[in-house]
Amino acid sequence: MAYLAHSKSRLLNPDHNRLLHMLLKKTFYAQFCAGENAAETRRTITQLKALGYRGVILGHAREVVLSKAESDSLGAVQESTEADLKEVERWRDDTLNTILLSGKGDYVALKFTGSGKQALQYLKSNMPCPSVFRDAVHEMCKLAEARGVSLLFDAEQAVLQEGIDNWTMYYMKRYNKERAVIYGTYQAYARKTPSTLAQHLATAQKEGYVLGVKLVRGAYLGSDPRELFWDTIEGTHKCYDNLARCVLERKYGGLLQPVKGASEEFPNVELILASHNMESVRKAQALRDEQARLGQPRIRMAYGQLMGMADHLSCELVQQANSRKDVVSETVEVPEAFKYLVWGTMGREKIRMRSLEQLMLGGRWVKR
């Protein structure tokens, strides 16, 4: 798969080799992707919802994963060129189309780096986003808000993450007044994530908006400096489960401590527990069931797994939801299970085979 993704041969390009295209579509693509066009994607979404999934997390994502050499060679921020504008326009249009394919209560996932090289330069320099980019994202947010869809801004490499967080919080402040239209992503394998989340919670509380939290374990172990992460997998598990509990209970504790001098009162939050880890999901389920039984307030929460992965876990959540959905009682928790899908052509100009390569290696979507 890696060889196919990087090959420059027309023979190994599914855009030109119909036999290869058919082979890939019937195997890897069918396992992990929703469809090559809108009609196929709608059909897949309909089938999943008919099974009992609450909805989908849909992406037509584009991403750049930088090597150290590529990061060092980005250069200084420059004025927008025509090529920059076209990249942003294509990214905007792909995202708007994805929002239109989604239904009320669904999520759309996107990456800031999908908008092109200029965004990388701004993010690395931790500068406010350029006006053309800012306007494009406002357009996405307004459409999502009107359709009852939420946008998930994914975490990316550490060299870009502070810029991504700042841009995400800018849009949260604007759109998350009543509900979380915008979510940020928090990677539990990073040592600084508890302090970052604490700072964002303090900001949301002070400025009066809902903090959207998508909690993941992390996807850039192979490209970021090792010292940024917990020493062991057990450290990552501890961080993930601690943060999940704190957000679900809306109170600080353990690794998540309030910012010095800030209010210890928790803001309104909404959570996507994005995990393929059975133990983490069951801990969250047990806590939610206890909250329901005791009549305690519960935040809006969704479980998310990638299409084609951890189906045993997803189906268990769906089965539980189906068995409880007709019970009209505030003391019964009905889990909301979502599948993360990507859609678009498998050719090199849109959704590349590299995304499948990365899924096979580590459950991570990478697209250029």
Task: Write the DSSP string, 271-282.
Answer: EEEE---HHHHH
Number of Cα atoms under 13 Å in the Cβ half of residue 249:
17
Ordered by where they begin, the domains of the chain are: 2-362 (3.20.20.220)
Buried b (16+ CB within 10 A) or exposed e, 62-100: bbbbbeeeeeeebeeeeebeeebbebbebbbebbbebbe
Say how far apart CA 82 and CA 80 lie, in whole Å: 7
In which residue are the tokens 């069951």 written? 282
Say what the pLDDT of residue 201 is: 98
Distances (CA, A) of 251 to 76, 144, 156, 287: 42, 29, 27, 14
Query: 252: phi > 0 → left, psi -120 to 50 → alpha, else beta; which?
Result: beta
pLDDT tens series, the chain, 368 aa: 667 767 788 888 887 888 988 888 888 888 888 998 999 999 999 999 999 999 999 998 565 655 556 655 666 677 778 888 999 999 999 999 999 999 999 999 999 988 988 888 899 999 998 899 999 999 999 999 999 999 999 999 999 999 999 999 999 999 999 999 999 999 999 999 999 999 999 999 999 999 999 999 998 888 899 999 999 999 999 999 999 999 999 999 999 999 999 999 999 999 999 999 999 999 999 999 999 999 999 999 999 999 999 999 999 999 999 999 888 788 899 999 999 999 988 764 444 444 444 444 444 433 32
* Predicted TM-score of the model (pTM): 0.90
CB 254 within 8 Å of CB 241: no
Say how far apart CA 368 and CA 366 lie, in whole Å: 7
CB 272 within 8 Å of CB 216: no
Mention every residue, 6+ apart, whose C-beta is less than 8 A from residue 75: 121
Mention every residue, 6+ apart, whose C-beta is less than 8 A from residue 99: 108, 140, 143, 144, 147, 149, 151
- CA 291, 262, 244, 50 torsion-angle sign: positive
CA neighbor of 189 nearest in space, from 119, 277, 110: 277
Triad 9, 11, 17: Cα angle to 5°: 135
Distances (CA, A) of 222 to 62, 66, 163, 195, 226: 19, 11, 21, 23, 8
CA neighbor of 71 nearest in space, from 28, 127, 113: 113
Say what the pLDDT of residue 363 is: 43
CB 229 within 8 Å of CB 171: no
Distances (CA, A) of 357 to 3, 66, 361: 9, 16, 6
Say how far apart CA 41 and CA 238 lie, in whole Å: 37
Query: 317: phi > 0 → left, psi -120 to 50 → alpha, else beta; which?
Result: alpha
